Amino acid sequence: MSRTLQLTEQLISLPSVTPEDAGCLELLADALQPMGFACERIDSGPDSFRVRNLWARRSGTGADRPVLVFAGHTDVVPTGPLEQWSSPPFVPTHRDGKLYGRGASDMKTSIAAFVVALEEFLAETPAPSFDIALLLTSDEEGPSVDGTKVVVELLRERGERLDWCIVGEPTSVERTGDMIKNGRRGTMSGRLTVKGIQGHIAYPQLARNPIHQALPALAELAATRWDEGNAFFPPTSWQISNMHGGTGASNVIPGHVTIDFNFRFCTESTAESLQQRVQAVLDRHGLEYELAWTIGGQPFLTTPGTLVNAVQAAIRAETGLETELSTTGGTSDGRFIAQICSQVVEVGPPNASIHKIDEHIVVADIEPIKNIYRRTLLELQRQQSA
């Protein structure tokens, strides 16, 4: 059994359903400390929802050394109905060349690969020309309030600079290394409450139907072209997720209607500009309304350069693939790290089974992802030494 597979199985066996860590960080700190990493726990949140965070850094001598950080999460989503699993979700199980268990793809294999890649790299390069860190949390699959976000805020207060970040999210599609994420769209939600006047449905002249009033504005918002996207991002999208109105009776005009909606926006738009445009539409339609905004994350983009080139070279050397750069999908903790790090990419194994019953990873994909991380470290070292 390879060292990466062994550590992956150890992590899967720990039932770290968000926000629980179940001992994952202690296991990882025990592996990192002998390599010279100073391990700091930065736990956060109330006792009823305590989030465990680990900031581990290995610093060398010299001023203005660049910093590479590996980032990931030890927490996993709930298992779903246990009876639907072919084997217990927290008992690592091999069948037909696959390793089954919750977190196998998202993202305990990546975390194990981080550690083993560092062991191998530091054995070969004991005095690298850059500092190395790991930022690990048990709050990525949950609210993402007391995890990476808290650690990043603390690092910013300390004035700590990060130059390159590799997030171990499962980004591949068919084969390990065929796709990486070099950015993510921002996410912003709105809750719109349009006010009317409740009344008997037989006497509409004595009431004001907020649903009727809201529909033209909603139709305009749905038809709006917010931007054209760019070479890396599709155009910004706006979607209604929920609409609630009425008393439940068929003969009452409601007094208000509430609409939940969400933007997934690219770097061609800002949260502020989108808010202003929505409010301008609502005002133009003469609505009486309340509107509350929640920004879940700003968009970020890493254009080809030092880190992207190093990762592409590592994937090419390990797999022969020319990886695809993509910004599709949901959000990740990269959105927080990008606030203090100019180059952030996500690189990980195939994602076809993530969050599903019988989550798994093909065993043959485990060593290649570790080797991609190790080769990326070597390529960064080569670039720094050139």
Give the Cα separation of 95 and 111 in Å (integer): 22
272 is catalytic: no
Q: Is 62 exposed, middle or buried (0-12, 13-18, 19+ CB in 10 A)?
A: exposed
75 is catalytic: yes
Tally of CB atoms within 10 A around 284: 11
> Quick check: 190 and 293 in contact, CB under 8 A?
yes
DSSP letters for 281-325: HHHHTT--EEEEEEEEE--EE--SSHHHHHHHHHHHHHH---PEE
Of the candidates 119, 120, 140, 333, the residue annotated as catalytic is 140
> Quick check: 233 and 267 in contact, CB under 8 A?
yes
SS3 at position 355 = coil
Angle 285-291-297 from CA coordinates, rounded to 5°: 120
Give the Cα separation of 161 and 243 in Å (integer): 43
What residues are paired with 343 via a beta bridge? 164
Of the candidates 9, 75, 139, 346, the residue annotated as catalytic is 75
Nearest to 286, CA basis, from 219, 214, 190: 214
Catalytic sites, residue numbers: 75, 140
